[in-house]
Amino acid sequence: MTDVARLAGVSHQTVSRVLNGHPNVREQTRLRVQAAITELGYRPNRAARALVTGRSQVIGVVAQNTTLYGPASLLAALEQTAAEEGFAVTVGSVRDLDRVSISAAVERHLAHRVAGIVVIAPVESAGEALEHLPKDVPLVTVDGDPRRPMPLVTVDQVAGAREATRHLLEAGHRTVWHVSGPADWFDSAGRIEGWREALREAGAEVPPLVAADWSAASGYRCGQMLARMPEVTAVFTANDHLALGVLRALHEYGRRVPDDISVVGFDDVPEAAYFIPPLTTVRPDFAAVARASLDLLLAQFESDTVGELRQTIAPTLISRQSVAAPPR
Amino acid sequence: MTDVARLAGVSHQTVSRVLNGHPNVREQTRLRVQAAITELGYRPNRAARALVTGRSQVIGVVAQNTTLYGPASLLAALEQTAAEEGFAVTVGSVRDLDRVSISAAVERHLAHRVAGIVVIAPVESAGEALEHLPKDVPLVTVDGDPRRPMPLVTVDQVAGAREATRHLLEAGHRTVWHVSGPADWFDSAGRIEGWREALREAGAEVPPLVAADWSAASGYRCGQMLARMPEVTAVFTANDHLALGVLRALHEYGRRVPDDISVVGFDDVPEAAYFIPPLTTVRPDFAAVARASLDLLLAQFESDTVGELRQTIAPTLISRQSVAAPPR
DNA sequence: GACGCCAATGTGAGCGCTAACAATGTGAGC
DNA sequence: GCTCACATTGTTAGCGCTCACATTGGCGTC
């Protein structure tokens, strides 16, 4: 920086002002400084800036399994959005979403003086951890516990599930079965709730819940059960991979989709359109979630609004060929 | 740090020594300092350390589309491995893998004074960019151009493809068709090469290449073509999503898998075992790739071995039910 | 007992930057 | 022409840490 200043014939402070887009710099000076920067290939040291300002232009993300489609998409969207705002993103993935692991990951981020933290905390066990975190950095939870008083962005699971279920009822099915995600995920809970609500609203009978995890494997096992129950004509699965497993089981038992049984998934993974048959599913808007999360962080940077701030992102039903009227 | 020093009754330098595990500190002193750290909830400021040492404990990753299964898995594995070594990972995703975008992403990482950079550079256009990068930071490419003299870690695409093809030939097929990935990806090129080699070695006829991209959609379109060609009895697709598209097309045209046509994929995505039928595929070892990449970086930290260092990770064939003998 | 050696600790400087304030220059207004 | 306000630039002091070197004390050696 000193070199740049010397070459441009100004003080280092003026260089700093140019770098930070300070208003009171003469146009001519600015150009001279920029020329010097280019000529020397100067690159500001963000570590030094972080030291003096106490905040780096980095946002920390805490997530559990960034291999799953949902978290991976969200992470990518966050990175994209953050980059647009001039922030870098560091990932702190975590083996389990328990209190100790989350605290450790947050501590790691704090040691780097990140400007803010996004915690993807979709399970029960994460909730408590978040309340006991140091309060000295803006924090937003995604898919977190709706009952806790923290800045939170979530996909509207209830609305999505309700829409999926209603879609099946409107196709003429008397009721809809649900293969749910793991019991401790808020996503599961929300989807179950939406499913139940839609059934109740329509006055339909609520069949027993079929509990699974998120994997195609467990979907397959549940599918083997459902396939042998002739009264099952419509299934809403908590995600697309479960749907895939169900589809395969139904196929093996010779039950045709959608002729004999209709299936709706959740997530709209890119290959859902190429399942056999193409899957009707619910698409969450990850970009919007990322945008909202970042906005909530940015808002906290400006004012210290410790907020009950909350954003809910509505998902969209994507209609394909896995839904039809029930057999008569 | 000063506070900790005062509370422990030592100098700030001694605190620093304890923090960095320096040898010449009396055990008793170390304990006193650690007690003070705990009591005050002191957390070292890594930005300050980065400033004085000129390197932060952060590794920058440049990648294009971290939503795809391969890159996402690799990123997660890198993060995991880096964490074990005490490094954080920041992601710099990039819209296109051209020279300008890559340079910009690398520059962003350099501004943060990352300790090293991993570039996931699976396409032709990335190669040139990498040679013109500033040399002042250790850098490793993953899935990059094998012809360029840089530290490189790759999955052995050729070996994987050869194994997949041979597996089909050994099942009795006269030849194997290949649905390839995008032409400018090294992954595609390697898989094509392995496929050709295996056919030649077996003295089998080499059918025309069917070129696609990585998506299930394009697999579906290629599948529609292959389904109508009665002489096609075995297909090796460049990834599992292509296989999914092919499977659906074959299904629609009434060609049974594996009875009429056998299919092998590449990647072993988690749901591949639940395709209809379960997909025989080739599984790359992302954890090993991550490990090797990090080792190559760490090696560069220690000595300034500007290396022709190169690591190739062999993938494994996972045999499921999408392969059988050809119809007679 | 003087000496040297080494382990353990302290001291001072400075990494590259920004914040706060000080010091200039410039033009309008009288 | 002088003053004042304001735009522009410079100066100084750290941010929290590590590095290089200085200092202290204990112990073995001759």
- Best B222, B246, B256, B274 member to test A by mutation, with max A CBs in 10 Å, is B274
- Nearest nt to the CA of A9 via C1' is D9
- Which residues does chain A have within 8 Å of residue B47's beta carbon, measured at their own beta carbons? 47, 50-51, 56, 112-113
Stated as kind and residue range, the H or E segment containing A152 is strand A152-155
Angle between helix B12-19 and B27-40 (nearest 10)? 90
B219 pLDDT above the threshold of 70: yes
A307 pLDDT above the threshold of 60: no
- Which residues does chain B have within 8 Å of residue A247's beta carbon, measured at their own beta carbons? 276
What pLDDT score does A84 carry? 87
Closest alpha carbon to B90 in A73, A92, A2: A92
pLDDT band at B118 (very low <50, low <70, confident <90, very high): very high
A65 pLDDT above the threshold of 60: yes
What pLDDT score does B305 carry? 60
Interval B61-76 mean pLDDT: 89
Question: Using one digit for the tens of pLDDT, what is the confidence trace for A26-47?
Answer: 888 899 999 999 999 898 999 8
Interval A205-229 mean pLDDT: 95
Q: Please judge whether B107 and A215 are an interchain contact, meaning their C-beta atoms are less than 8 angstroms apart.
A: no
What pLDDT score does A130 carry? 81
DSSP B89-110: EEEEE-SS-SHHHHHHHHHHHH
Q: How far is B226 from chain A (nearest CA, A)?
A: 16
Is-cis flag, bond preceding A258, omega within 30? yes
End-to-end CA distance of chain B: 79
Q: How far is CA B187 from CA A188, B175, B294, in A?
A: 37, 22, 21
Stated as kind and residue range, the H or E segment containing B282 is strand B281-283
Contact B289, B306 (CB under 8 A): no
Question: Using one digit for the tens of pLDDT, what is the confidence trace for B288-301?
Answer: 999 999 999 988 88
Closest alpha carbon to A243 in A259, A274, A220: A220
- Which residues does chain A have within 8 Å of residue B108's beta carbon, measured at their own beta carbons? 88
Q: Please judge whether A58 and B92 are an interchain contact, meaning their C-beta atoms are less than 8 angstroms apart.
A: no
Q: Please judge whether A93 and B80 are an interchain contact, meaning their C-beta atoms are less than 8 angstroms apart.
A: yes
Other CB atoms within 10 A of residue B77 CB:
20
* pLDDT, mean over chain A: 91
- Which residues does chain B have within 8 Å of residue A88's beta carbon, measured at their own beta carbons? 90-92, 108-109, 112
Question: Using one digit for the tens of pLDDT, what is the confidence trace for B236-267?
Answer: 999 999 999 999 999 999 999 999 999 999 99
pLDDT band at A181 (very low <50, low <70, confident <90, very high): very high
pLDDT band at B193 (very low <50, low <70, confident <90, very high): very high
Residue A314 neighbours by CB under 8 Å, 6+ apart:
A156, A159, A160, A285
Greatest Cα pair distance in chain A: 87
Task: Could you list the beta-strand ranges (E) of A182-223.
Answer: 210-211
Contact B63, B120 (CB under 8 A): yes
Stated as kind and residue range, the H or E segment containing A110 is helix A99-111
Contact B241, B221 (CB under 8 A): no
What pLDDT score does A103 carry? 86
B31 pLDDT above the threshold of 70: yes
- Which residues does chain B have within 8 Å of residue A278's beta carbon, measured at their own beta carbons? 248
- Give the residue carrying structure tokens 């609305």: A159
Residue A179 neighbours by CB under 8 Å, 6+ apart:
A210, A211, A212, A219, A222, A223, A226, A235, A236, A237, A238, A242, A246
What is the pTM (predicted TM-score) of this model?
0.87
How many Å apart are B305 CA and D12 C1'?
Answer: 43
What pLDDT score does A25 carry? 86
B158 pLDDT above the threshold of 80: yes
Interval A151-161 mean pLDDT: 95
What pLDDT score does A212 carry? 95
What pLDDT score does B99 carry? 84
A204 pLDDT above the threshold of 90: yes
CB within 7 A of nucleic chain C:
A 1, 12-13, 16, 19-20, 44-45, 48-49, 51-53; B 9-14, 17, 23-26, 28-29, 48, 51-52, 54
Q: Which two tokens stand for residue B161?
A: 């493809």
Q: Which two tokens stand for residue B325?
A: 């003998």
A175 pLDDT above the threshold of 90: yes
A185 pLDDT above the threshold of 80: yes
What pLDDT score does A137 carry? 86
Burial class (CB in 10 A: 0-12, 13-18, 19+), B41: exposed
What pLDDT score does A306 carry? 58
Contact B263, B251 (CB under 8 A): no
Residue B125 dihedral angles phi and psi, to the nearest 5°: -60, -20
B307 pLDDT above the threshold of 80: no
What pLDDT score does B187 carry? 92
Interval A73-101 mean pLDDT: 89
CA B26, B27, B29 angle in degrees (round to 5)? 65
Q: Give the closest residue to C10 (Cα–C1′).
A: B11
pLDDT band at B306 (very low <50, low <70, confident <90, very high): low
pLDDT band at B304 (very low <50, low <70, confident <90, very high): low
Residue of B nearest to A246 (CA): B274
In chain A, the percentage of residues whose pLDDT exceeds 70 is 98
Distance, in Å, from the CA atom of B242 to the CA atom of B267, rounded to the nearest integer, reads 11
- Nearest nt to the CA of B1 via C1' is D16
Write out which nucleotides of chain C lie closer than 7 A to a protein Cβ. Answer: 7-12, 14-20
Residue B171 dihedral angles phi and psi, to the nearest 5°: -75, -10
Contact A168, A264 (CB under 8 A): yes
What pLDDT score does B279 carry? 97
CA A55, distance to chain mean position in Å, is: 25
Contact A154, A144 (CB under 8 A): yes
Query: Between residues B223 and B99, which one has the greater pLDDT?
Result: B223
How many Å apart are B53 CA and D21 C1'?
Answer: 18
pLDDT band at B122 (very low <50, low <70, confident <90, very high): confident
Q: Give residue A91's identity as a one-letter amino acid code.
A: V
Burial class (CB in 10 A: 0-12, 13-18, 19+), A7: middle
- Nearest nt to the CA of B49 via C1' is D17
Q: Please judge whether B79 and A91 are an interchain contact, meaning their C-beta atoms are less than 8 angstroms apart.
A: yes
Closest alpha carbon to A242 in A165, A304, A156, A182: A182
What pLDDT score does B104 carry? 85
What pLDDT score does B308 carry? 61
Contact B192, B252 (CB under 8 A): no
* pLDDT, mean over chain B: 91
Q: Which two tokens stand for residue B293?
A: 């990449």
Q: How far is CA B207 from CA B179, B210, B218, B231, in A?
A: 11, 9, 19, 11
Contact A183, A123 (CB under 8 A): no
